[in-house]
Every structure is written in C-alpha cells, then in structure tokens.
Copies of this chain bind each other. A is one copy, B any other.
Amino acid sequence: MSDLGDKILLAHGSGGQASHQLVSELFLRYFANDWLEQLDDAAVLPMAVPQMADAHGPTRLAFTTDSYVVHPLFFPGGNIGKLAVCGTVNDLAMTGAQPLYLSAGFIIEEGFSVADLTRIVQSMAETAKAAGVHIVTGDTKVVDRGSADGLFINTAGVGLVPQGLHISGAAAQPGDAILLSGSIGDHGMTIMSQREGLRFASALESDCASLNGLVASMLDASTAIHALRDPTRGGLATTLNEIAGSSKVGIEIVEDEILVRDEVRGACEMLGLDPLYVANEGKLIAALPADQAEVVVSAMRGHEYGRQARIVGHATAEHPGRVVLKTSLGTRRILNMLTGEQLPRIC
C-alpha cells in the first residue's frame, strides 16, 4: 500500500507513470493472468471453439474497455459519444483485430438534458456505422444530482484477430522503423483550450477518428507489423515508452519528423505544455521491419487518416526501455513517461 499512498490522485488516471504504478501494484497483483499482463490496448484471447479443427489453432478474440469522462462533453471535432466509439474501436484495431461489436454503458446525472443525450447517442450511432461496428448491448444508470458530472460513458468492444497476425506492444524489434500517422496534440489541446476559453480555440479541432480502416490498409500492404499503439493519455512520449518497456528495445525518434500543427504548438506554448505528452485520439504509432516501412507509409498516405504518415524513428538494441529524442538542435534527450497529471479528463 505504502507505494501507492493513501489516496487516489488525479495522476493515477493520467495514463503516465502513476497510472502504470496503480495497474502493476493493484490490478495486476490481484487479477493476475497472462492476458492482462500483456498490457496491450486490447486483450487477445483464445476461444476454444470445440467444433473447430485443431489444425487451425484457436479463434482469437480481441476484447477491450474504456470509460470516458471527458470534460466538456462537446468539443470541436467530436463529443464524448464519438470519442467512446472511436477509442474502443481503436484499441481493438491496435491488435490487428477486426472490430465487430461494442457495448455502451451510460452513467447519467439526474437532470441531464435529454436533447444533449440524444445528440451524443446519434453521434455514437453514426460513428459506429462509419467504423462498421454494431452497438449490441448496453446499460443505463442514473445517479442523484451531484453524484456524477453530467455523463460518463463506458464502451467495451470485441473483435476477431485474423490468423497469422501477432501484433503487440511487446513485439517491437531492434531495427524496426517507427511510423507515426500524423500530427500530434490536436485532441488534448482542443479540450484544454475549450476549458481555458483561449481566444484561438476556434482553430483547434480534435483528431478523434476510428482507425480500423487505416490499420486494414496497412495490413493489406504488409502483415509484418510488429506493434501498433494509439498515443492517447500521456501522449506520444508515454506510448513510445510503453512500447520500449514492453518490447525491451530502445527507441530513437527525430524531433523534426514529428508534426505539430501551428495552432497546437501555439496553445502548448501558451499553457506551458509539451506536445509530446498531449493526448491524441486519431493517431497511431507502428513498429515494423525497416524494409517494409516505405510500402506501409505509402498505404497509410492513401487513407484519409494517414495522409501525413511518416517514419519518425527506429528501434534499437541499445538502451532497452528508453526513448531518446534527437532534437532539432542536434542534441539528444531522454523522453520519460509522463509524470504527474497534465490534463485531467481529456478522454
């Protein structure tokens, strides 16, 4: 207990170092099993289908969940409902799975606007349809006024992992190219600017999007992909640290290759934030053999959510577990995982 402290802090939900500590010291300790310990965006599970020929191996199911507590509920580029569908679709897609079915659990504060709830549900339906998934089961709880802040949504999702794919945050190899699908920080700075009432907020828009189509295009180009992750809470730097730690490789990335939109950079500077640690909701990182990188980048650029895809670095056998940034000035600095809580309730 002593390591976690007496009280849960906002930092325990940051996606950064304190979150990892909570997961490893509490959840992994008590729920201990091989699937959870992978700490991938979705668990990949064997389903022993009795009538299936053993020769083909078991069916593998991807299964994931996320709760959404974003504040405000509506923001440029999306809302909590769109986010709840995209986020869970993306967690499935990051295992290479074809997302199939979602659940939706609503926790609603008494007095919440039916018109707002309707807009959110409509948005979930549209987003699910566009991603090719069905919302097949759900639950609604209403809590008394003051016991929740408007609306929280949980989505869980299941999908099928095609035979032959073995994509995991723990599977990056030394020599792999590291790809990034586009600019970073858009979602986090959009939410932040809405809260702070920044003047230039109108230029910011969340990148919230379902990435399963992009992943399908990548897999059409090459099934040799080792690792996929979407850099949400904790941002690019934290997610790269997760891959480096799980895969026991070093990662080196080149600052000049990382796109940050001017509006995002401006908002970050104003608020004193580093875009490398700001959440994204429509971007992915891939690690794959360097000789496959060009063909996969090219496939990504043919997809609407990968137009700005590029190689941003590579994995190395040196400094395993560490992420190093080659800065624009030619210096090298270690990128640690996010510490503390940068932006609460970003997703």
Measured between C-beta atoms, what is the minimum distance from A194 to chain B in Å?
16
| Stretch of A35-43, A167-175, A252-260 with 4 or more beta carbons under 8 angstroms from chain B | A35-43
Residues of B within 8 A of A71 (CB): 147
List residues of A (10-58) whose CB comes within 8 Å of B's CBs: 10-14, 19, 22-23, 26-27, 30-33, 35-36, 42-43, 45, 47, 49, 51-53, 56
Q: A45-B136, A105-B66, A156-B103 are in contact. Are A149 and B149 (CB under 8 A)?
A: no
Contact indicator per residue, chain A 93-128, by CB within 8 Å of chain B (1) or not (0): 000000011011111111111110110011011001
Interface of A, helix, strand, loop or mixed by DSSP: mixed
Q: A31-B128, A113-B6, A136-B36 are in contact. Are A51 and B56 (CB under 8 A)?
A: yes
Q: A19-B140, A125-B30 are in contact. Are A6 and B67 (CB under 8 A)?
A: no
- Say yes or no: A43 contacts B104, CB within 8 Å: no
Number of A residues near B (Cβ < 8 Å) is 87
The complex is assembled from copies of this chain, and their number is 2
Complex formed: what's the CA distance from A301 to B19 in Å?
46
- Say yes or no: B124 contacts A65, CB within 8 Å: no
Complex formed: what's the CA distance from A19 to B158 in Å?
26
Complex formed: what's the CA distance from A103 to B65 in Å?
6
- Sample of 17 A–B contacts (CB below 8 Å): A6-B114, A8-B110, A8-B117, A13-B143, A30-B125, A31-B138, A35-B101, A36-B136, A45-B101, A51-B53, A51-B163, A53-B53, A64-B103, A141-B152, A141-B345, A144-B344, A148-B149
